[in-house]
Structure 1
Amino acid sequence: MVTTAAFLAFMLVGVPIGVCLCLGSIVYIFASGNPLLFQSFPTQLFGGVDNYGLISIPLFVLIGEIMNGGGITRRIIDMTMAFVGAMRGGLAYVNLLANMFVASILGSATAQVAVMAQMMVPEMEKKGYDKTFAAGLTAYSGMLGPIIPPSIMFVVYSVLAQVPVSDMLAAGIVPGILLTVAFCLVIAAMGFVYNYPRGERMKLQERVRIVLDALPTLLIPFVIVGSILSGLANATEAAAVGAVAAVLVGCFWIGELKFSDLPRMMLRAGIYSAVVLFLVAAAAVFSWVLVYGMVPQQVAGWVQTVASDPVTFMLLVNVILLVIGTVIDGAPGLIMTVPILLPIATEVYGIDPIHFGVVVVVNLVLGFLSPPVGLCFFVAAAVTGAKPGKMFLVTLPFFFVSCLMLVLLSLIPSLSTFFAR
């Protein structure tokens, strides 16, 4: 109780989440009256990041930096335009499908929304789409980033849950595809109701030229996902090969990436990765304190009085995590909830940890798009000038469909474990 109060107090005054976790742990050690625990504090802190799988995080972030700086994103947008641009609401489909392809490289919702909003929203506005809808659609499309591999949140979860990173990344393929299809159906329905404009129909020769120009960019997700699914490489090795592929495509095929740009990109990737890895290290200490204080056992006792079976437990978890996700970012939300809920899910209810991880991540990502925080909406608003509150109202159909998909993922474990095992 003292630890929880201290953590909330630090967080409410604006202390960063990682520091809150460390300070909350220190408060618990003082309150426990066992100063010998301080001797284990540095060991637990270091042990949290002493994991080979975490090397994939800076590599995946670097791939995203290279992709943005090397002109790869623009070619992916042009390719999707060639396929679906002439349909009713064509630019909306382009926005969504381009985000799906970018998600298979970038793996970060906020970064993806920032990149795609700059490119897609002005273009959609020129063609007659409402700016609020265009920005909101981009925010929801960014939801695919932490789900379709590679996903930084899945890497963090795999370390917290001690499951293979490759299995966790592969688990996001089917949920990501299902969400994309569901969002396409929503766009089709809204396009019919609101009479969205059609794009210009391209000639066959123009389509072939655009697709051939963009094909090498697809080498990057193919290398990453293909090597993981085939067993030729683990997630870290696949990330390294993907980074090399991104450099080769950006420098020698597209020609917009210069080797002199790489140090700056590496610096940005290093700064972002350091923030994530510090959160992981702080989480290790906080988890250790929770276990020492028998918090998971106490929570398990309460949960068992409410949820009598795995289905009820998963639905209860959905509600809890959706609320948490509305006020706390994804990685910190994972760090705060997984050490408590995962032992209950696996030991009490026999739920597969990979299935549970997918549900947790999708829950927290949906929180990016829910008031009062709605981080992706605020990112899209900062880039486009749209109002976050109006974005949420305009895109309510996407929210309801996301909740429906979340329930399906909770009730059907095979949707998450199809490629993972």
Structure 2
Amino acid sequence: MITSAAFVAIMLVGVPIGLCLCLAGLVYIAASGNPVLFQSYPLQLFGGVDSYGLIAIPLFILIGEIMNGGGITRRIVDMAMAFVGSLKGGLAYVNILANMFISSILGSATAQVAIMAQIMVPEMEKKGYDKTFAAGLTAYGGMLGPIIPPSVMFVVYSVLAQVSVSDMLIAGIVPGVILTVMFCLVIALMGYIYNYPRADYQTPRQRVMTILRTSPTLLIPIVIVGTILGGLANATESAAVGAVAAALVGKYWTKEFEFSQLPQMMLRSAIYSAIVLFLVAAAAVFSWVLIFGKVPQETAGWIQSAAKDPISFMLICNVILLVIGTVIDGIPGLIMTVPILLPVATDVYHIDPRHFGVVVVINLVLGLLSPPVGLCFFVAAAVTGAKPGKMFMVTLPFFVISCVLLVLLSLFPSLSLILVK
């Protein structure tokens, strides 16, 4: 109880979540009256990041940096335009499809929204779309980033849950594609109701030429996902190969990437990676404290009294995680919830940890698009000038369809496990 109160008090003061977790652990040790635990504290902190799989995080971030510097994002948008641009609401489809392609490279919702909002929102506004809708749609497109591999959140979850990083990345493919299709169905319905405009018409020859011109950009996700699915590499190795592929495409195909840019890109990747990895280290300490405090056992007892089967447990978890995701960012949310809920899911209800991880990540990402915080909306607002509150209202159908996906995943675990060996 003292530890929980200390954690909440420290967080409310405005201390970063990683430090909150570390300080809460120290408070617990001091309150336990067992000073010997102080000797284990640094070992737990170091042990949290002593994992080969975590090397994938800076490599995935570096891929995104190289992709941006190499002009690959713009070409992916052009490719999506060639496929669906001439349909009613064509630019809305382009927004979602381009986000799906780019999410297979970036793996970060907020980074993806920041990039795509600069590209898509002015273009959609120029063609007659409401700026608020365009910005909100881009924010929902960014939701695909942490679901379709590579995903930093899946890597962090893999370390917390002690499951294969490769399995987690593959488990996100089918749910990510289903969500993309669902978003496109919503756009089709809204396009019919609101009479969305069509993009500029392209002749079949123009489309073929555009696809041929932009298709080498797909080499990056093909290399990343293909090497994992084919058993040629694990997630960390595929990330390294993907970074090389991104550099080669940017240097020799788009010709917008220069190797002289690498030091700055690597520095930015290192800074962001250090933040994420410190959170993971703090999570190890926090999990250790929770186990000593028997929090998972007490949580299991409470949930078992309310949930009699795995489906009811998953539905309860959906509500809990969505509420947590509305006020806490994705990775801190993982760190706070997985050590408590995962043992209950696997030991009591015998739920596959990989399936549970997909549901957890989607819930927490959806929280980034929900009041009162809605971080992705604020990122889109900062880039476009639209109002976050209005974004949520005009894109409410996308929120509803995302909740439908979560219910489907809770009822049918095979949707996330079908590609996992």
**TM bucket by the smaller chain?**
over 0.9
Q: Match of 1:134? A: 134
Which range is displaced more, 290-299 or 178-187? 290-299
Q: Match of 1:230? A: 230
- State the 1:147 CA deviation: 0.1
Q: Match of 1:49? A: 49
Q: Match of 2:31? A: 31
Superimposed CA distance per residue, residues 177-214 of structure 1 (whole angstroms, 9 cap, x where no aligned partner): 00000000000000000000011211222212211111
Superimposed CA distance per residue, residues 5-49 of structure 1 (whole angstroms, 9 cap, x where no aligned partner): 111111111000000000000000000000110000010000000
CA distance in 2, matches of 1:213, 1:52: 37
1:54-69 map, 5 Å: 54-69=54-69
CA distance in 1, matches of 2:302, 2:103: 38
Q: Match of 2:179? A: 179
CA distance in 2, matches of 1:362, 1:385: 27
Unaligned runs of at least 5 residues, structure 1: none
CA distance in 2, matches of 1:341, 1:82: 44
Q: Match of 1:314? A: 314
- Structure 1 residue 17 and structure 2 residue 14: aligned? no
CA distance in 2, matches of 1:235, 1:49: 16
CA distance in 2, matches of 1:381, 1:166: 34
1:15-414 map, 5 Å: 15-414=15-414
Superimposed CA distance per residue, residues 65-124 of structure 1 (whole angstroms, 9 cap, x where no aligned partner): 000110000000001101111000000000000000000000000000000000000000
AA paired with 2:201?
Answer: R
CA distance in 2, matches of 1:113, 1:304: 39
CA distance in 1, matches of 2:416, 2:9: 37
CA distance in 2, matches of 1:107, 1:394: 25
CA distance in 2, matches of 1:237, 1:213: 28
CA distance in 2, matches of 1:126, 1:99: 20
CA distance in 2, matches of 1:213, 1:273: 33
CA distance in 1, matches of 2:320, 2:242: 36
Corresponding residue SS for 2:386:
coil
- State the 1:386 CA deviation: 0.2
AA paired with 2:154?
Answer: F
AA paired with 2:46?
Answer: F
CA distance in 2, matches of 1:135, 1:51: 38
Superimposed CA distance per residue, residues 342-379 of structure 1 (whole angstroms, 9 cap, x where no aligned partner): 00000001100001000000000000000000000000
- State the 1:417 CA deviation: 0.6
State TM-score, norm by structure 1: 0.99
CA distance in 2, matches of 1:301, 1:84: 51
CA distance in 1, matches of 2:39, 2:372: 40
Unaligned runs of at least 5 residues, structure 2: none
CA distance in 2, matches of 1:46, 1:118: 39
The RMSD of aligned alpha carbons is 0.5
- State the 1:172 CA deviation: 0.2
CA distance in 2, matches of 1:264, 1:191: 42
AA paired with 1:400?
Answer: V
Corresponding residue SS for 1:255:
coil
Corresponding residue SS for 2:36:
helix
CA distance in 2, matches of 1:279, 1:119: 31
Superimposed CA distance per residue, residues 204-230 of structure 1 (whole angstroms, 9 cap, x where no aligned partner): 222122111111100000000001111
AA paired with 2:42?
Answer: P
CA distance in 1, matches of 2:364, 2:395: 18
AA paired with 1:227?
Answer: T
- State the 1:419 CA deviation: 1.0
- State the 1:293 CA deviation: 1.1
Number of residue equivalences: 421
Corresponding residue SS for 2:232:
coil
CA distance in 2, matches of 1:107, 1:410: 23
Corresponding residue SS for 1:201:
coil
AA paired with 2:205?
Answer: Q
State TM-score, norm by structure 2: 0.99
